[in-house]
Structure 1
Amino acid sequence: SFLNNPLNDELKEYYFDTAYELNQTISIKRSDFDAFEEIFFFIYKKVCDSSTLLKGSKRHVMTFLHYMYYECLIGKKDSDDKAR
């Protein structure tokens, strides 16, 4: 896989640092939102509104968030097995 290739170790560190920071934000802000999707949109807006480098690539931010969620790196499950 891309992240397992030693040539990509620096990107791998960035990836897991980002996942950690997002998880902290999600944990802190979770009670501010009714639906988990609202947190995704909140993070998307924060990232995209603060970066001119993403011009033309903003759609990839949501893909990135969903991939991290799919890989269980962000979010958590409650006792009802619903994403939180």
Structure 2
Amino acid sequence: MFIALSGRAVIVCNGRRHALAAGDIALMKAGTEHHVVNEHGEDFSYYAIWWGRDMSADFLAEELRRDGGEPTGAESAT
């Protein structure tokens, strides 16, 4: 996921170009080949958020280890 904060850019996903400007959000499916291109004379800033299934499971396992807790219904689902 990309959240555009300022400026303009182009996201290229699987060879297709998509304009992205401040205030826009772009969401791609896992495994999508993508990159961001700034073709403008201004800065482009954004947040990039990535959170996969394996990353979620690792995060929950570490939190449970720290807390010494047992998984509940939500934590045990992967």
Asked whether the two chains share a fold, i.e. TM above 0.5, the reply is: no
Task: Report the TM-score, using the length of structure 2 for normalisation.
Answer: 0.27
Task: Report the TM-score, using the length of structure 1 for normalisation.
Answer: 0.26
